[in-house]
Structure 1
Amino acid sequence: MAFLYKAIDYEKLISYQYNASTFSLDRMEKLLAHMGNPHKNLSCVHITGTKGKGSTAIMMATIMEYAGLVTGLFTSPHLIDLKERIQINRQKIAETEFASIMDELQPYIRYLQETSPSASPTFFEILTALSMVYFQRKRTEMAVLEVGLGGRLDSTNVVVPLASIITNIGFDHTSILGNTLSSIAYEKAGIIKQGVPLVSGIEGAEALSVVEKTCREKNASLYLLGRDIWIEEVKHLVKDGIRGILCRIKTWRYTYDNIYLPLAGIHQARNCALVFGALEILRERGIIAVNDDTIRKALAALHCPARIEVIAENPCIILDFAHTADSMRFLKKALIENFTFRKLIIVLGFSQDKDMDTILKEIVMEADSIIVTRSKNPRAAAPGDLYQRIERISGKQPEIVNNVQDAVIMAKQMASHEDMICITGSSYVAGEARQALYIS
């Protein structure tokens, strides 16, 4: 772990150049070639998007597992344990196996660090390679790979998947991916491969035109939510004490009825619809066979950590990592529609590169009390900056707490049994809050 964390970690850098030299797929290809090209024969589904790609990946992998396939899942970031990012059948990679593969990677990486530093792989590239080696050695029958950033230059983009998914496209990482929807779409569309079908939930015409053009150039069939896949019905439902949704989703092949997702928020039906689209592609090609009951059981067993996750009751404590304006809007809507509470206490912490004013406008007016904090990540925005933004936007004066654990303790002291505490803003805040809730 110490060796791994010495590699360049763009998840912790505040600013950097986003181009083909900084994010080099050639560097990734060489690292994988050194390990025997484990990605070349990896059956996989590749997922990107601005919002919802993590939930979509978890849904996809869970259905594959319930269908009887040995299923790998590579996601990012993690909440508490780095090994959360690499799983087979919902089991994290074991420390011994993680260390064993790292031992094999180290000599080659050390050589590059000493002889050609610019050619040495980054933190995320090493993790991606490690996951692919692990999946190959465990004879994974299907892998679900979530893009880390963008798509075109992401280290996962060395694979040729059986199907690709682009969940939606909105504004995030604008200083890196561009400040127009077309420029962001161009980066996301980079995962589209020659002849590989794409399923997408893109709504805006600007982003959609870029993706459609890429699909034509790559001769890749495009299946769109709202055109080829439809959400026919969504209802809020409480089942076994868990808030969720019941939905009916229709694809170009079939209608999936009575689908229960133990997840708060109607937006999760969109993610599920994209999963069903990718599932149809795999079924049409004879890659997977799965019946309705198995699909229902798989989705009913879903666990998506820190996606409007209820951590405690009385007071109700919600953990989430809404970090874009769209995701904060979905969170606000889900809180209003799914929960009853007297006062809403919000704990907020963001990364510096976010469009904080736009995000804050979505939530601060709903809050009765606000606590601003920061995670331990070097990219974390200063609580004083958040304070000034919130005061300017709403006139409200939040409490300033300089670490997440103390912010959680303060929120619990402020709350009565009828209140709600919502902790959100970044995955780093969510992870530290989860630890604090089990400590405090």
Structure 2
Amino acid sequence: MKADHILTYDEALNWLHSLLRFGLKPGLERMNWMLEELGHPERNLLFVHVAGTNGKGSTCTFLTHVLLEAGISVGTFTSPYITDFRERIRLNNQLIPQDDLVRLVDEIKPLVERCEQETEYGCPTEFEVITLLAICYFGLVVRPAIVVWETGLGGRLDSTNVVHPIMSVITNVGLDHTDILGSSIGEIALEKAGIIKPGVPVVVGNLQEEALNVISRITKQKNSKLYRLGCEFDAQPLFTEALKGAQHIEYSSLFRPTTSTYQLGLLGKHQVQNAGVALMVLDLLREFYAFFVEEEDRKKGLAQATWPGRMEIVSRNPLCMIDGAHNTEGITMLVDSLGELAKDTKRIHLMFSALEDKPLSQMARVLKEAPLELANVYLTSFDFPRAASVDTLEDAFLTGGFNQEQLECVDDWKIVLREWLSDETKSDETLLICGSLYFISLVRSIFSIPVEQVGE
């Protein structure tokens, strides 16, 4: 490859997307080699490393918003993006500037080419280079006080696992990406436990016994203190104001003499757990790392937290909500949260699309067995290489227990969506759109909501 210079934002994105999505040889060798060549910029930073099957992004956004309220500069690295590629890399919740991204890509491109040509490790993957880009931005350009650092896939061999964090977080463990991470809860838990470092505290959400046993064993081996939801700390729902996009919780921990109550800016019962995990991380940051976050900062940060595509209200009349649930556990959490919404709406309709490698019939069964009945179910596909066809989705939903009469197969979801939103008879009904983060990112673009203004 020629080391041509990257001059524009589009050129930078095109080059990043031209890289392999997954490496031929899983491992951290490529990342470690490149960081060594750069003088290890990650060592300039303090990281909170967040893993988990679901809830990683929401936990990261709770942490980011509270830390910002406290006046602490914070870098945030998350994936995937919903609207703008630069959502992955933020400083103080502001997207990395295009000029900085272009300059950094131009600087690391020759290094990536050298790794492919001069080492036995091969060409770095797209995600590895994006991770390196984030490290360079945070470690060499902006130097935030702390970085909220989300894993991409798994943990042990994930390219984010080249940092030595001050805290490790595992939100939950579920059966997703089983072709890569393992076919059992225990195997997947072991992969996620790979982010645990010797002597570094570990905060975990609600885990199955099998997953908790694995993580407990690893923390003991590494002499790391384990903080568990329901034991060392707890979070419980109080009440929800679904149409206002808010819910209220109470929180307690071993560092607090009394319980505290908070309003969350994110809907869904699962967000109670995610907020609890974030609050425990904040307790530990205060106790052991001198990050002083006042109670008022916590309250404001949690209330103002927004995360695109997570039970996000994109239209209020009629009510339309999008959610990125894209596996069985995610759909289960979504269904558990719909009870509160059902109190405020006459009927709930569903628009569903997903990737073909997901457990589609299991996801459909969870939706069918929900305590509230779905009025209409629109099945559709979208322009993406691994998107499931409408026929595949129909077969999965029939296998999952739906009747043919309940299903409506849709070729053009945009037409159906626009017709539904303009139907005055739907003013007291709700349309829920879910199944794939990639799909809802397309849906969301129709509403033209800038990422920075979500929830305002």
Q: TM-score of the superposition, structure 1-length normalised?
A: 0.92
- Deviation digits for residues 34-80 of structure 1, max 9, x if unmatched? 33311122101000111111100111111111122110000000112
Residue among 127, 131, 154 paired with 1:128: 131
How big is the shift at 1:215? 0.4
- C-alpha distance in structure 1 between counterparts of 2:353 and 2:38, whole Å: 39
Which deviates further from its counterpart, 179-188 or 271-280? Answer: 271-280
- C-alpha distance in structure 1 between counterparts of 2:413 and 2:106, whole Å: 34
Paired residues of 2:325 and 2:436 also in contact (CA < 8 A) = yes
Residue among 248, 252, 271 paired with 1:246: 248
Is residue 2:384 matched to residue 1:372?
Answer: no
When residues 105 and 251 of structure 1 are mapped into structure 2, their CA distance, relative to the original with a 3 A threshold, is same
Structure 2 equivalent of residue 355 of structure 1: 359
Residue among 296, 306, 312 paired with 2:309: 306
Structure 2 equivalent of residue 329 of structure 1: 332
- Deviation digits for residues 371-416 of structure 1, max 9, x if unmatched? 2222333122222100111123211353333455345335436772
- C-alpha distance in structure 1 between counterparts of 2:85 and 2:215, whole Å: 33
Is residue 2:218 matched to residue 1:206?
Answer: no
- Deviation digits for residues 330-389 of structure 1, max 9, x if unmatched? 212322213422332211111222111111112146321112222333122222100111
Residue aligned with 1:368, SS: strand
Which deviates further from its counterpart, 364-373 or 268-277? Answer: 364-373
Residue among 399, 402, 405 paired with 1:394: 402
Is residue 2:159 matched to residue 1:155?
Answer: yes
- C-alpha distance in structure 2 between counterparts of 1:27 and 1:48, whole Å: 21
The one-letter amino acid paired with 2:378 is I
Is residue 2:429 matched to residue 1:419?
Answer: yes
- Deviation digits for residues 132-165 of structure 1, max 9, x if unmatched? 1111210111000111100111111011111111
- C-alpha distance in structure 2 between counterparts of 1:197 and 1:60, whole Å: 16
Unaligned runs of 5+ in 2: 1-12, 450-456
Q: TM-score of the superposition, structure 2-length normalised?
A: 0.89
CA RMSD after TM alignment: 2.0
- Deviation digits for residues 215-272 of structure 1, max 9, x if unmatched? 011111001011111225522236xx62321111001111452211022222211111
The one-letter amino acid paired with 2:409 is I
Paired residues of 1:200 and 1:225 also in contact (CA < 8 A) = yes
- C-alpha distance in structure 2 between counterparts of 1:202 and 1:330, whole Å: 12
Residue aligned with 1:341, SS: coil
Structure 1 equivalent of residue 14 of structure 2: 2
Query: In the TM superposition, what are the counterparts of 1:24-63 in structure 2 within 5 Å?
Result: 24-63=27-66
- Deviation digits for residues 166-225 of structure 1, max 9, x if unmatched? 011111111221111100101010000010000101431111111011001111100101
- Structure 1 consecutive aligned stretches of length 4 or more whose deviation exceeds 6 Å: none
The one-letter amino acid paired with 2:16 is L
When residues 404 and 57 of structure 1 are mapped into structure 2, their CA distance, relative to the original with a 3 A threshold, is farther
Residue among 142, 161, 169 paired with 2:146: 142
Residue aligned with 1:2, SS: helix
Is residue 2:190 matched to residue 1:180?
Answer: no
- C-alpha distance in structure 2 between counterparts of 1:380 and 1:118, whole Å: 31
Paired residues of 1:322 and 1:331 also in contact (CA < 8 A) = yes
How big is the shift at 1:117? 8.6
Paired residues of 2:168 and 2:195 also in contact (CA < 8 A) = yes
Which deviates further from its counterpart, 241-250 or 429-438? Answer: 241-250
- C-alpha distance in structure 2 between counterparts of 1:246 and 1:196, whole Å: 31
Between the aligned residues of both structures, percent identity stands at 32
Unaligned runs of 5+ in 1: 11-16
The one-letter amino acid paired with 2:358 is K
Residue aligned with 1:363, SS: helix
Structure 2 equivalent of residue 429 of structure 1: 439
Structure 1 equivalent of residue 414 of structure 2: 405
Residue among 295, 320, 323 paired with 1:317: 320
The one-letter amino acid paired with 1:242 is K
Which deviates further from its counterpart, 364-373 or 129-138? Answer: 364-373
Number of equivalent positions: 428
Paired residues of 2:381 and 2:390 also in contact (CA < 8 A) = yes
- C-alpha distance in structure 1 between counterparts of 2:164 and 2:313, whole Å: 37
- C-alpha distance in structure 1 between counterparts of 2:420 and 2:438, whole Å: 18
The one-letter amino acid paired with 1:396 is Q
Residue aligned with 2:314, SS: strand
